[in-house]
Structure 1
């Protein structure tokens, strides 16, 4: 698991258009990290209004903060500016609301090599956008070997040992109007406490490698709608070879739902066995349908067991002669209605 480094320059390039940012001073601090890779709690206190007690990585100065600074006497004002620009936790300062930037702020930014930006947007809007951007830009991520597909609107990771047929299965699913996200290397990002999003590395986008056919351009072969860049992960399908000893130990009722942890989130997992005559594409679609039913609260195994338990209870509670008498009376009532 890694957390990608994001510098002040990366942040400016990504958000300058959306937030109408201008780089006013402190350009020599463009390589300052918004979140150190060694941070104990990544993502905490990244952005917020000016705070001297618990400094944010990006300190946003709005109208209220400008008014607060203006009420300080000269000595307190100078101390506040010095604390703001020399704080080790601060990586950038944004003056929002299109306010005038005091020369003291510009001089302090250049002197300490700390990026000073301005935005014409209100400070709450700036903070909302930055929280959304930084949550994703600095989210923990991991790269997993497999094929990632969107099947029936659900993100499905197909895994298995090399050469087992993952790409061939992906090709069959594409022919059934499902969509490819990534082949071979899938990057997963945890964007929420229990939300994992899988995406394709830029260099591999649109391509599928199939043994015997080489590299295929899925977008050109199947059309624009056959590929997408990212999707939330819902289910993992693990392909395994059929072995007699292993097959004898399989729980055919699948009474226990298997899961696999990715970035600390438990993802449902099913195992499909590769063998002659087995249509894996249909099995993957069926696994997705079963997953959707479970999300809706339907458990076929539970219903199956309850039905058989009720049948056994009814059979055990009635004496054979009594059951015959009840059946005969029911038949006579039915005949009388017909007559």
Structure 2
């Protein structure tokens, strides 16, 4: 099923003024792309993105003023199709009478904003991308650690929520527990958030459900966070080889994106919250250009080479 956003929701979000056809505010917006209908005003309709919000700025309005009224009306009527969600005018510009007439005939709302065209375009696009982005749900806990969105995964009962609670006590922020909704807002961003019904809640076995914001304050939670690192918790397997140096680089795929992953074995006596906290700090350090594992390997190889030459 194709996701959509009603025009009314966009109007309320950006505080847009309705100029006509308020009965068309339920029309669906199905794409975050916008159209600046300059070529259409000249009569070029070979490619007309009719399913996009049609944005009019100073250029479009000024150009249309130089047209004959009947020509203007003809062009605007051609722009009004059953798939056109809305017309939006920026900079509090006056809407041409012919546009209002054509929009009323088709039941398409005409909205207006005081914002400049470029800024309004950015706001509309960002909002629609957020609302229309594909979403998947993933079992895990998402925590903001030193500004990094760390998704903690693992089998049920491995200790994800308890680890998240300890991280919150250490000053980090909870985003979601148990069920993380992940939106792919663009080709580079995975944004995680919590379903509304369990937002700010943390389930601790033996204790029950707690409200993190109520217990620790508003600074202990946040509504969403870009996922940068995945930490997978698994029960310690003595037969399995675990990375002890840090040269192995694991990745996991979410949607079609590869996300860096660290596997942390769990057994009694290991302080998982501290390990994950340090993993986040070390990941940031790697992104800044310093890799302790590579530095150690380089120094070790240099020492071995030096000693072999002296033998």
Same fold (TM over 0.5): yes
SS at match of 1:192: coil
Structure 1 residue 194 displacement after superposition: 1.4
The answer to whether structure 1 residue 119 and structure 2 residue 113 are counterparts is yes
CA distance in 1, matches of 2:90, 2:242: 62
CA distance in 1, matches of 2:215, 2:105: 56
CA distance in 2, matches of 1:98, 1:286: 51
SS at match of 2:28: coil
Q: 2:282 matched to which residue of 1?
A: 290
Answer whether contact 2:103 2:110 (CA < 8 A) is retained. yes
Q: 1:317 matched to which residue of 2?
A: 309
Alignment match of 1:225 (pick from 219, 234, 256): 219
Answer whether contact 2:234 2:264 (CA < 8 A) is retained. yes
The answer to whether structure 1 residue 29 and structure 2 residue 35 are counterparts is no
Q: 1:10 matched to which residue of 2?
A: 9
SS at match of 1:278: coil
* Structure 2: segments with no counterpart, 5+ residues: none
TM-score scaled by structure 2? 0.88
Q: 1:173 matched to which residue of 2?
A: 167
| Partner deviation per Cα, 1:163-191 (whole Å, 9 max, x = no partner) | 11111111221222222111111122233
Answer whether contact 1:27 1:110 (CA < 8 A) is retained. no
Q: Within 5 A, what are the aligned runs for 1:39-118? A: 43=32, 45-48=33-36, 50-52=38-40, 53=45, 54-55=48-49, 57-86=52-81, 88-118=82-112
Q: 2:238 matched to which residue of 1?
A: 244
Mean Cα deviation higher: 268-277 or 128-137: 128-137
The number of aligned residues is 304
Residues 85 and 211 from structure 1, CA distance in 2 versus in 1: closer, same or farther, beyond 3 angstroms?
same
Answer whether contact 1:3 1:141 (CA < 8 A) is retained. no
RMSD: 2.3
Answer whether contact 1:159 1:239 (CA < 8 A) is retained. yes
Give runs of ≥4 in structure 1 deviating > 6 Å: none
CA distance in 2, matches of 1:121, 1:234: 33
CA distance in 2, matches of 1:285, 1:119: 45
